[in-house]
């Protein structure tokens, strides 16, 4: 339990400025390959969305950080990472309404709006990078999802490769369809699908997760993603959403259901990147593993019960909100362990006497 006049652990500073800068620069380096592939598949529109999203986040932090925090907080590079993550989860191009055709690509405006919301509402009011109780990128995209669901899930096909299906994988999964076949699987892994511009190349995201597990500075954070992935895989196997065939739900369809969960929407991207925000995590690797499993369970629950095409960002926000309760349960368990050890020691002493 926290000592008198001491802040609870989820409100303490979780890293120095140098640590925060190193973490964000590493995240930026790991995310850039996804942006480059987005540019390869969707052309210069993907770069426009990413650049505007990052600029909006940086400018919002420069302005409101100076006003509310009275200091320049852009130097930790977190605003750049937040803007880039929000852009990766958006389509590369959203056609504007006919009466507003002069505004061009609507995805650019949505990216800017989501980034400003993430910085102004979720990051700055709580004191900046080291004090955020919620993932700003998850909150920014959740805001766009709640306000513009028919826009942010309107995906255009790549001009470089034809998608496996014209509909997005997330929509196919919501309809109970299975798009995974031996012929389609390699194309799906390389992102030949309709979906967000930076989250579809599943094979690369898996490689980036392996890199995180190999990096000493990121291994503990990556355990959160491992817990998330295990929980999603187990729940998808026992509670599949793929419609059963004529012979019922066989093993092949259960495995396909796991694949459809991971290959659709931004689920794997959010698990590998958004979920690892340092200020929103417990402080030890095994508790991060459990925390990730909690977020994975919430993701599957919201995907089954939610009304949006993709609900993973809401699961991350709910898991973030549960962190104080998570700590309280951990403290209570530790106190119980201490009490049992003291009681056992006292009984041993009494027996010896």
Residue 217 lies in a domain: yes
Residue 10 pLDDT greater than 90, yes or no: no
Task: Give bridge partners of residue 144 from the DSSP assignment.
Answer: none
Residue closest to 20 by CA, chosen among 130, 118, 123, 126: 130
**Could you give the percent of the chain with pLDDT greater than 90?**
63
Residue 185 lies in a domain: yes
Residue 9 lies in a domain: no
Q: What is the pLDDT of residue 55?
A: 97
What integer is the mean pLDDT of 273-301? Answer: 92
Q: Do 192 and 162 lie in a common domain?
A: yes
Q: Do 281 and 349 lie in a common domain?
A: no
Q: Do 67 and 180 lie in a common domain?
A: yes
Residue 209 lies in a domain: yes
Residue 42 pLDDT greater than 90, yes or no: yes
Residue 11 lies in a domain: no
Residue 5 lies in a domain: no
Backbone angles phi, psi at 6, to 5 degrees: -115, 135
| Mean pLDDT over each residue of the chain, to the nearest integer | 89
| CA atoms of 59 and 63, how far apart (whole Å) | 6
127, 155 contact by CB (below 8 A):
no
Confidence class for position 353, pLDDT limits 50, 70, 90: low
| Domain range enclosing 345 | 325-353
Q: What is the pLDDT of residue 246?
A: 63
What integer is the mean pLDDT of 125-139? Answer: 90
Q: Answer whether 0.75 is exceeded by the pTM.
A: yes
Q: What is the pLDDT of residue 343?
A: 83
Q: Do 262 and 288 lie in a common domain?
A: yes
Between these two residues, 2 and 51, which has the higher pLDDT value?
Answer: 51
Task: Write out pLDDT tens, residues 16-33.
Answer: 678 889 999 999 999 999
Q: Do 142 and 288 lie in a common domain?
A: yes
Q: Do 85 and 205 lie in a common domain?
A: yes
User: Encoding tokens for residue 122?
Assistant: 């979720």
Q: Report the CATH number at residue 194.
A: 1.10.3430
SS3 readout for the chain:
CCCCCCCCHHHCCCCCHHHHHHHHHHHHHHHHHHHHHHHHHHCHHHHHHHHHHHHHHHHHHHHHHHHHHCCCCHHHCHHHHHHHHHHHCCCCCCCCCHHHHHHCCHHHHHHHHHHHHHHHHHHHHHCCHHHCCCCHHHHHHHHHHHHCHHHHCCCCCCCCCCCCCCCCHHHHHHCCCCCCCCCCHHHHHCCCCCCCCCCCCHHHHHHHHHHHHHCCCCHHHHHHHHHHHHHHHHHHHHCCCCCCECCECCHHHHHHHHHHHHHCCCHHHHHHCHHHCHHHCCCCHHHHHHHHHHHHHHHHHHHHHCCCCCCHHHHHHHHHHCHHHHHHHHHHHHHHHHHHHHHHHHHHHHHHC
Q: What is the pLDDT of residue 247?
A: 67
Task: Write out pLDDT tens, residues 150-188.
Answer: 999 999 888 888 888 889 999 999 999 999 999 999 999
Domains identified in the chain, total number: 2
Q: Do 292 and 346 lie in a common domain?
A: no
Q: Do 289 and 343 lie in a common domain?
A: no
The lowest-confidence range among 9-18, 73-82, 200-209, 261-270 is: 9-18
Q: Do 162 and 221 lie in a common domain?
A: yes
Q: Do 265 and 338 lie in a common domain?
A: no
Highest mean pLDDT among 16-30, 34-48, 67-81, 118-132: 34-48
Q: Do 226 and 334 lie in a common domain?
A: no
Q: What is the pLDDT of residue 16?
A: 67
Residue 1 lies in a domain: no
Q: Do 177 and 215 lie in a common domain?
A: yes
Residue 285 lies in a domain: yes
């Amino acid at each position: 339990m926290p000592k008198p006049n001491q802040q609870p652990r989820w409100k303490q500073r979780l890293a120095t400025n140098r640590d925060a800068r190193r973490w964000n620069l590493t995240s930026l380096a790991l995310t850039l390959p996804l942006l480059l592939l987005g540019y390869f598949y969707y052309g210069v529109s993907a770069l426009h969305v990413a650049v505007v999203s990052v600029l909006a986040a940086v400018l919002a932090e420069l302005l409101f950080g100076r006003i509310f925090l009275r200091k320049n907080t852009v130097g930790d590079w977190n605003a750049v990472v937040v803007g880039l993550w929000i852009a990766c989860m958006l389509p590369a191009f959203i056609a504007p309404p006919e009466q507003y055709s002069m505004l061009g690509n609507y995805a650019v405006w949505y990216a800017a709006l989501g980034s400003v919301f993430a910085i102004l509402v979720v990051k700055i009011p709580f004191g900046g990078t080291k004090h955020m109780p919620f993932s700003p990128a998850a909150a920014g995209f959740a805001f766009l999802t709640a306000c513009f669901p028919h826009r942010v899930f309107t995906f255009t096909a790549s001009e470089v490769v034809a998608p496996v299906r014209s509909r997005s994988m997330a929509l196919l999964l919501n309809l109970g369809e299975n798009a995974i076949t031996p012929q389609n699987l390699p194309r799906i892994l390389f992102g030949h699908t309709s979906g967000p511009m930076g989250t579809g190349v599943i094979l690369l995201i898996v490689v980036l997760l392996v890199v995180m597990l190999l990096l000493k500075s990121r291994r503990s954070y990556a355990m959160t993603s491992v817990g998330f992935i295990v929980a999603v895989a187990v729940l998808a196997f026992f509670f599949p959403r793929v419609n059963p065939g004529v012979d019922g739900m066989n093993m092949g369809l259960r495995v396909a259901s796991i694949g459809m969960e991971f290959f659709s929407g931004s689920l794997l991207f959010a698990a590998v990147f958004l979920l690892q925000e340092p200020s929103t995590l417990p402080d030890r690797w095994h508790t991060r593993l459990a925390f990730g499993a909690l977020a994975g369970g919430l993701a599957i629950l919201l995907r089954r019960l939610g009304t949006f095409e993709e609900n993973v960002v809401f699961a991350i926000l709910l898991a973030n909100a549960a962190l104080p309760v998570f700590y309280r349960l951990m403290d209570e368990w530790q106190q119980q362990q201490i009490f049992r050890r003291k009681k056992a020691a006292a009984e041993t002493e009494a027996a010896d006497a």
